[in-house]
Amino acid sequence: MKPHARTAARTLLAVALSASLALAAGCAKSEDDDEGSTGAAGSEQAEGSEQQVTGGSGPTCTIADYGGEKIDLADATVGFSQSEKEANPFRIAETASIKDEAGKRGVELLTANAQSQFSKQISDVQALISKGADLLVIAPLNSDGWDPVLKSAADKKIPIVTIDRKINAEPCKDYVSFIGSDFTEQGKRAADKMVEATGGKGEIAILLGAPGNNVTTERTKGFKDRIAEKAPEMEIVFEQTGEFVREKGQQVTEQLIQSNPDITGIYAENDEMGLGAVTALKGAGKEPGAVKIVTIDGTRNAVQGIVDGSIDAVIESNPRFGPLAFETLDAFTKGEEVGQDLVIEDSEYTGHEAEADLGKAY
Ligand code: GZL
């Protein structure tokens, strides 16, 4: 492990940057303490696809806020904790993006994957700390239960950046900053697409994400509020968690079809569950498109489902945090003021442009 610049007082780094970043594919060498592999497939991103950042006007942090000293990112070791097993393209693309950017910048990267087990994620992060990580980037599985890690990091003044899901702790104090999507807005946009696809009438079902995190809570609230606002006649007759997993999404949809054979539409809170629903509906003899399906993520298979007519719309949840995370760490460690809460804009895929847009999906 490259000797890393250590400073007596490590600073909690706030990362946020109101700028747009072009994303580029690349390769990275990383020291995986879990997977043991090195290198990363370049995340396939459409040339010139940009990650627009909003939220720079929110509360900010500076190194002076923390009384810490600057850390030279080039000499630092970054620990990355991934939450879910990389069977889900969202997680594959997210990890690749972090590895790609670390490799491009020549930053020493340690990675760990909790395989969707929260207790393992806690021990993963503790291990990254003991292996000498100067900075931590965490994709949390759950929103609660982080106190032991926050204390260990604070004791060593190791800055934590959370990406993707939020943890219930104080930004700019317990952790540095959050970088992620507006999940409530994603739910609202999914509702708009559901109303469009169904004409605002009929009975709909929700395949809920995994419990215990803000993504599921916010995607559900955004969707329900918008349906109530725009299509009060539509009735949500079924909601059950598929835990963001394809097989579970299929199993739950099989149950749904038993109890509600004439369901009008299904809102799946991620593509993997939506694809499971497609399989279940096909198995029940339903024609593609007979049940209107709207999902969230923006994976290649789901966008292909739009092309095939089995899915009506996909709202993107952009997992490509690498360029933004490292750009903001770099900016901050140079002493620039950064925000505490970075909301990344997400695109969407619908029938007309899906085929042409397939290259942008992950
Ligand atoms: C969203 C992320 C969700 C994805 C799912 O940012 O937390 O977790 O939408 C994943 O695919 O399981």
Cα 10 to ligand 1 centroid, rounded to whole Å? 31
Mean pLDDT to the nearest integer, 174-186: 93
Cα 210 to ligand 1 centroid, rounded to whole Å? 9
Confidence bin at 328 (pLDDT 50/70/90) = confident
Nearest CA to ligand 1 atom 2: 164
pLDDT at site 156: 85
The Cα–Cα gap between 36 and 112 comes to: 9
316 in Cβ contact with 300 (< 8 Å): no
CA-165 nearest atom, ligand 1: 7
Cα 184 to ligand 1 centroid, rounded to whole Å? 13
pLDDT at site 333: 83
Q: Where are the beta strands (DSSP E) in 20-96?
A: 21-22, 31-32, 50-51, 53-54, 60-61, 77-82
Nearest CA to ligand 1 atom 12: 244
The verdict on the CB of residue 97 being under 6 Å from ligand 1 is: no
CA-299 nearest atom, ligand 1: 11
- For residue 223, pLDDT beyond 70: yes
> Which class for 1: exposed (0-12), middle (13-18), buried (19 or more C-beta within 10 A)?
exposed
- For residue 128, pLDDT beyond 90: yes
Cα 126 to ligand 1 centroid, rounded to whole Å? 23
H helix and E strand count, the chain: 11, 18
* DSSP string covering 247-301: HHHHHHHHHHHHH-TT--EEEESSHHHHHHHHHHHHHTTPPTTSSEEEEEE--HH
Residue showing tokens 């085929």 = 355
Cα 69 to ligand 1 centroid, rounded to whole Å? 34
Secondary structure (3-state) at 97: helix
pLDDT at site 5: 43
Cα 270 to ligand 1 centroid, rounded to whole Å? 7
Cα 122 to ligand 1 centroid, rounded to whole Å? 19
The Cα–Cα gap between 164 and 178 comes to: 8
Tokens encoding 252 = 């739950």
The verdict on the CB of residue 84 being under 6 Å from ligand 1 is: yes
The verdict on the CB of residue 121 being under 6 Å from ligand 1 is: no
The verdict on the CB of residue 244 being under 6 Å from ligand 1 is: yes
Label the pairing between strands 203-208 and 265-268.
parallel
The verdict on the CB of residue 270 being under 6 Å from ligand 1 is: yes
The pLDDT > 90 percentage for the chain reads 70
Confidence bin at 90 (pLDDT 50/70/90) = very high
Domains assigned to the chain: 13-175+319-345 (3.40.50.2300), 183-316 (3.40.50.2300)
Mean pLDDT to the nearest integer, 312-324: 96
CA-210 nearest atom, ligand 1: 12
Highest mean pLDDT, choosing among 7-16, 25-34, 112-121? 112-121
284 in Cβ contact with 255 (< 8 Å): no
Cα 75 to ligand 1 centroid, rounded to whole Å? 31
The Cα–Cα gap between 100 and 94 comes to: 10
pLDDT at site 16: 45
Helix ranges (DSSP H) in the chain: 63-66, 89-105, 118-130, 147-155, 183-198, 214-230, 246-259, 271-283, 300-308, 322-333, 354-357
- For residue 331, pLDDT beyond 50: yes
How many residues make up the chain in this entry? 362
CA-88 nearest atom, ligand 1: 11
Cα 64 to ligand 1 centroid, rounded to whole Å? 34
The verdict on the CB of residue 316 being under 6 Å from ligand 1 is: no
The verdict on the CB of residue 90 being under 6 Å from ligand 1 is: yes
The verdict on the CB of residue 317 being under 6 Å from ligand 1 is: yes
- Other CB atoms within a 10 A radius of the CB of residue 37 amount to 10
Least confident range of 211-220, 264-273, 350-359: 350-359
pLDDT tens for residues 25-81?
Answer: 333 334 454 543 233 333 333 333 334 333 457 888 877 776 557 889 999 999 999
pLDDT at site 41: 30
CA-91 nearest atom, ligand 1: 10
* 78-to-74, 99, 132, 147 alpha-carbon distances in Å: 10, 10, 9, 20
CA-271 nearest atom, ligand 1: 11
